[in-house]
Structure 1
Amino acid sequence: MSIEKSRREFIAAGLLTTMAAVACNSKKTPFTPEEDVQPSGEKVKLLSVDGEIIEVDKAFLKPVPHMPSVSNEEIRKGIPGKKFAMVIDLSRCKNLKKCQSACNHMHHVHSEQNWIKVYQMQDAEMTAPYFQPTTCMHCDEPPCVKVCPVDATFKRQDGIVLIDSDRCIGCRFCMAACPYSTRVFNWEEPELTADVAAQTYSAETSVPQKRGTVGKCDFCPDMTRMGMLPHCVSACPNGVFFFGDINEDSVTNGSETFRFSDLVKDKSGYRLMEDLGTKPSVYYLPPVNRNFKFEEGLKNDEPAAKKA
């Protein structure tokens, strides 16, 4: 039951629809076209209220409107009943860095301040190299929170660790405390458009960033609040990132959905620096039976002129 619920929340990322609570049989769906809507001919696959895959004309879908602004109290509390986690399958990573560019674009982060880093890793001299996307670990025992003198870094009840740039004084204690080196400091004024710069800052969107403050991966809580996936998950064409709710025991990359417990157990999932006791919310699946050769990923680090 938890798997089906998760599918209903995450499938069709940007095309969530309002489903009427009506009785449906196998020949009827809740997507009844309005009289003034003409079919577009473009079909979209969704789950019906009965949990069956159905095809619906795109013209009949009603996008979810923008959610109302969330109070600072709600932002710091988090989404009740949730415990978010991410699983990164290293066997699928080709070093495309689509996760990185999507994160930078949606959070208006300069390319030199990447919140997601993709490292070339090799565990020992005779072992095979691989690529490791690295995000904030959103630890259950976050050392960054413990050292912040102004409560700018905080952990929510849903497991997400955020930074309130309105409180941040730029002391960088959190950066020194983080064993994963996933935080960056905004030394310069962020490159923002006038529209973005005029926005009211929100710790849930991390926009707009401010000079003299610390930034990092935030698990895109504004997206999860709408039942959608973080931008890195949606942008990855190889399904490297899985995101979901441990309480529901479900994670998805948008096209595949698994029980979280089965996935990490059956594929020997692990967490980085487990011995530190930080209890990260990011799990890795080892790079076995890889989809791509390591050498193919190296090409994505070559300068554009050399590729040409």
Structure 2
Amino acid sequence: MKNNNKVPRRDFLFTGLLTAALGGCNDKKNPFAQDEVVLTGEKVKLLSVDGEVIEIDKAFLKPIPEVPHLTNAEEREGIPGKKFVMVIDLARCKNLRKCQSACNHMHQVHPGQNWIKVLGMEDADHTAPYWQPTTCMHCDEPPCVKVCPVDATFKRQDGIVLIDNERCIGCRFCMAACPYSARVFNWEETLMASQGGSEEHHHHHNSGPTSVAHQVKGTVGKCDFCPEMTRQGELPHCVSACPNGVFMFGDLNEDTVTNGAETFRFSELIKDKAGYRLMEDLGTKPSVYYLPPVNRNFPYESGLEKETGDEK
């Protein structure tokens, strides 16, 4: 009679080694086995990394680790002992706009209402053009904070200027006061909300207090230096998304900035590369510094293809 249970010698040896390895583990649970997921049948909508709304079973949602729940008052206070700054190296910018797409995705910003704008600049006739990423400047003397009638726009002790969307009444005084045109008005619901995503699922995608992180129709939005990332000791999304190391972020008190791959002493970088701030004469004291576009990594023309069909 033919033995249908016969196992080839090679497979037998592999099975024996695997059994021995599992048997030697202190934990009785198979370390090679995946966690068992019990499907609930309840579908939720999430925003994929490609910007598409997808549906998954609620059982696959996992709590976000290492993100403590903060009250509105705690979030408004900021991180003690920190003074965040950003340095943008114009010599490295190729107008790829990876920073812009990453920011839009993580904050659910509608196309055409970019919090980061990459502008084609030319200082004077017969001078060389260059690309200039522009964000909120997180000024030490922010005029937007002074004109807000309901204390919705505020400055934290760590230098970050934020908007409390639960307080904002949409008067847009702050937009008029900002000399950098860094703010946009939310004329529509966020991408998730417009597709039927719930508040719970929004927070799973973008952690942080609702009053600060979540965009609300009829309120103002802007670059926020990704406070949920800085609280975890991580870089803002624009910094980590840029493949050319254009953005550097760090702490002025520690005198250090980094783009993830390189780390610099902030004071030496600004001094050696002739760093400057936009509209210095206004006295706003921005926390964003620029390095001039000298010895550029890419010619200006190499970034022009992104301008074709770009939304205004």
When the two structures are superposed, what TM-score results if normalisation uses the length of structure 1?
0.76
Structure 1 counterpart of 2:102, one-letter code: A
The equivalent residue for 2:153 is 153
Q: For 1:11-90, what aligned pairs fall within 5 Å after superposition?
A: 65-90=65-90
Are positions 1:234 and 2:237 aligned together?
no
Q: For 1:99-114, what aligned pairs fall within 5 Å after superposition?
A: 99-114=99-114
Structure 2 counterpart of 1:127, one-letter code: T
Structure 1 counterpart of 2:260, one-letter code: G
Given that 1:107 and 1:206 are in contact with CA atoms closer than 8 Å, whether structure 2 keeps it comes out as no
Given that 1:204 and 1:221 are in contact with CA atoms closer than 8 Å, whether structure 2 keeps it comes out as no
Q: Looking at CA atoms only, which structure, 1 or 2, has the larger radius of gyration?
A: 2
Count of aligned positions: 246
Coordinate RMSD, CA, aligned: 2.0
- Structure 1 residue 69: deviation in Å? 1.1
The equivalent residue for 1:48 is none
- Structure 1 residue 72: deviation in Å? 1.1
Q: State which of 275, 284, 287 in structure 1 corresponds to 2:290.
A: 284
The equivalent residue for 1:272 is 278
Given that 2:208 and 2:228 are in contact with CA atoms closer than 8 Å, whether structure 1 keeps it comes out as no
Given that 1:75 and 1:204 are in contact with CA atoms closer than 8 Å, whether structure 2 keeps it comes out as no
- Structure 1 residue 197: deviation in Å? 3.7
- Structure 1 residue 204: deviation in Å? 7.7
- For the residues of structure 2 that align with 1:204 and 1:162, how far apart are their CA atoms? 12
Deviation track 1:77-122 (CA, whole Å, cap 9, x = no partner) reads 1000000000000000000000000000000111121000000000
Are positions 1:254 and 2:247 aligned together?
no
Deviation track 1:206-255 (CA, whole Å, cap 9, x = no partner) reads 44311110000000010000000000000000000000000000000000
- For the residues of structure 1 that align with 2:167 and 2:147, how far apart are their CA atoms? 14
Change (3 A) 1:35 1:292: farther
106-115 or 153-162: bigger deviation: 106-115
The equivalent residue for 1:212 is 218
Change (3 A) 1:186 1:99: same
Given that 1:196 and 1:208 are in contact with CA atoms closer than 8 Å, whether structure 2 keeps it comes out as no
The equivalent residue for 1:56 is none
Given that 1:99 and 1:231 are in contact with CA atoms closer than 8 Å, whether structure 2 keeps it comes out as yes
Deviation track 1:9-31 (CA, whole Å, cap 9, x = no partner) reads xxxxxxxxxxxxxxxxxxxxxxx
- For the residues of structure 2 that align with 1:245 and 1:65, how far apart are their CA atoms? 24
Secondary structure class of the residue paired with 1:288: coil
Given that 2:72 and 2:211 are in contact with CA atoms closer than 8 Å, whether structure 1 keeps it comes out as no
Secondary structure class of the residue paired with 1:105: helix
When the two structures are superposed, what TM-score results if normalisation uses the length of structure 2?
0.75
- Structure 1 residue 65: deviation in Å? 2.2
- For the residues of structure 2 that align with 1:149 and 1:303, how far apart are their CA atoms? 39
The structure 1 segments of at least 4 consecutive aligned residues displaced by more than 6 Å after TM superposition are 34-38
- Structure 1 residue 70: deviation in Å? 1.1
The equivalent residue for 1:126 is 126
Listed as ranges, the gaps of 5+ residues in structure 1 are 1-33, 39-63
Are positions 1:168 and 2:168 aligned together?
yes
Change (3 A) 1:302 1:81: same
Change (3 A) 1:95 1:173: same
Change (3 A) 1:280 1:186: same
Secondary structure class of the residue paired with 2:73: helix
Deviation track 1:113-141 (CA, whole Å, cap 9, x = no partner) reads 10000000000011100000000000000
Structure 1 counterpart of 2:242, one-letter code: C
Change (3 A) 1:217 1:97: same
- Structure 1 residue 195: deviation in Å? 4.0
- Structure 1 residue 196: deviation in Å? 5.2
Change (3 A) 1:196 1:205: farther
The equivalent residue for 1:24 is none
The equivalent residue for 1:144 is 144
The equivalent residue for 1:22 is none
The equivalent residue for 1:225 is 231
Secondary structure class of the residue paired with 2:88: strand
Change (3 A) 1:204 1:145: farther
Given that 2:122 and 2:129 are in contact with CA atoms closer than 8 Å, whether structure 1 keeps it comes out as yes
- For the residues of structure 1 that align with 2:178 and 2:295, how far apart are their CA atoms? 32
Given that 1:204 and 1:220 are in contact with CA atoms closer than 8 Å, whether structure 2 keeps it comes out as no
